Amino acid sequence: MLSSAAAPDPVAGLLREGCVIPAHPLALDQDLRIDERHQRALTRYYLAAGSGGLAVGVHTTEFAIRDRGLLEPVLALAAETVRNESGRPVVMVAGACGETRDAVREAEIAAGLGYHYALLSPGGLAHLSEDELVERTAAVAEVLPVIGFYLQPAVGGRRLSARYWARVAEIPRLAAIKVAPFDRYATLDVLRSVGSSGRSDEIAVYTGNDDNILVDLLTPFEFSVGGSRVRKHMVGGLLGQWAVWTRPAVQLLERVRAARAGAVDDLPALLMLAAQLTDANAAIFDAANDFHGCVPGIKEVLRRQGLVADRRCLDPAEDLSPGQAEEIHRVTAAYPWLTDDEFVTEHLDTWLS
C-alpha cells in the first residue's frame, strides 16, 4: 500500500522560500562500518550551522550504501538526530535511486522514517526513455513529494530535454528541482521549463551546480510566457559543496537574499566570492580528474576539521587523486573566509558527545 505523505506546511514553506541543504556524507570507521558517533556529529554540525534541511542517501552519502544494506540505517540515524535535537522545521530529503520499483521502495522506507521529500536520481538509467523517466517520477511522487534531479553526466547523469522538464513540472507532487548538470545551457532548459509550466510559483528550483553556486543564486531568470514576463530565481542550494564549510554557506545565502532585495553594493564582493568558491570547489571535487575524488575530497575537509575520523569510502577505489590534497590545502589557505574551522573547533566536543 503506497503512502501519500506530504510535507508539513512549515517544511513545505521552507523548501519554497529556499535554504541551505547539505548533501550528507557517510562517516565510516576503519572497518568500513558506520561510525555512529561522527555520523551524528555531522548532522549536529549541519543543524548548528543553520542548514534548513539535509539530503541523506544521495551521491555524497555514497550510492554503495544500498549494496551494503546501509540505506535504512543511515536514513534512520539522521532522522532520529534531527527529531531529537533540531527544535525547528528541517527539510528532510532522502535519495531514491534505481528502476521504478526500487525507487518506490526507497521512497517508502524514507516516508516511514519521517522524510518529507525524495530526491530522485536519474543515474544508471540510460536504457530508459524520457517518457519512462517521467512515469517513474510520477510513481515515486505517489509515495513522497519529489525533488527532480538534473545530474551531471560526469557522475552518472545524462542530457535531458526541455520537453522532459516541462512534463516533469506537470506532476502535481513535483515540489522542487535540483539543477546540477554543470552546464549553463541545460540549466536554462530547466528554468525555462518551470517558468513556462504554470506551476512556477509552486516549484522551487535549487542549484546543484557546485561550480557556479553564487552566480546561480544571484541571477534572475526571466522568460516570455504567453506574452507575459515570468521571472524565476534559484532559492537555495542542495549541494555536496555545502557539506563542508556550511556555516559560511548559510551566511552567503543570507547575503544573496539581501542583494536580490536591493543591497546592490554587495554585488561586486559576492561575484568575487563566486569565483573563489568555484576555485575551492574545483579542488574539493577534483574537477581536474573528472570528479573522481569528489566524495573523498569532501571527507578530507571534514577529516581535517575532526568531523569525521577517516576519509575512506565504501568503494576502496574512491580516494583522493594525486595532488588533490595539496589543492585542498591551497584553497583552504587562500580563502579562509570561506571556511568555518573556528566554528567547528568551538563546538566539536559537544557534537561528538
Query: What pLDDT digit, counting tens, does each position of 163-201 carry?
Result: 999 999 999 999 999 999 999 999 999 999 999 998 999
Q: Closest by alpha carbon to 136, among 178, 109, 167?
A: 167
Angle separating helix axes 100-112 and 130-141, nearest 10 degrees: 20
Angle separating helix axes 246-260 and 36-49, nearest 10 degrees: 20
List pLDDT tens digits, range 27-82: 999 999 999 999 999 999 999 999 999 999 999 999 999 999 999 999 999 999 99
Give the chain's domain count: 1
- Beta strands 146-151 and 174-180: pairing type? parallel
CATH of the domain at 139: 3.20.20.70
Produce one character per residue of 191-219: b if its CB has 16 or more CB atoms within 10 Å, e if not. Answer: bbbbbbbeebeebbbbbbbbbbbbbbbbb
- 3 falls within a domain: no
CA-based angle 113:27:251, to the nearest 5? 80
- 126 falls within a domain: yes
- 319 falls within a domain: no
Domain assignment of residue 20, given as a range: 9-244
- 277 falls within a domain: no
Cβ(309)–Cβ(300) below 8 Å: no
What is the reported pTM? 0.96
